[in-house]
Amino acid sequence: LSIIFQGILSCLFLLLSQNIFTLINCVQVVNWLAIAVATLCVFHFRRTMPNAPRVIKVKYDC
């Protein structure tokens, strides 16, 4: 779904701006926002569901 959304946005920006460098900058902003949302979701789910089964567990030796 996000790839389709990013593709549609890319086509719209390219049609409106006619400049490939503007398109590259806008796509990178969308990409970094997606990474930020995914990172925030990890922290949110770790806080709200601490006992949920995890695929990867890290042992703290502190």
Contact of 32 with 19, CB cutoff 8 Å: no
pLDDT above 90 (res 38)? yes
H or E stretch covering 55:
none
pLDDT above 90 (res 36)? yes
Give whole-number Cα distances, 47 to 16, 20, 22, 56, in Å. Answer: 42, 41, 38, 16
User: How large is the average pLDDT for residues 8-34?
Assistant: 82
Q: Which stretches of 1-62 are assigned E, i.e. beta strand?
A: none
**pTM of this structure:** 0.57
Mean pLDDT rounded to a whole number for the chain: 84
Contact of 6 with 27, CB cutoff 8 Å: yes
Tokens standing for 27? 């796509």
**Residue 32 has what pLDDT?**
92
User: How large is the average pLDDT for residues 41-61?
Assistant: 85
pLDDT above 70 (res 62)? no
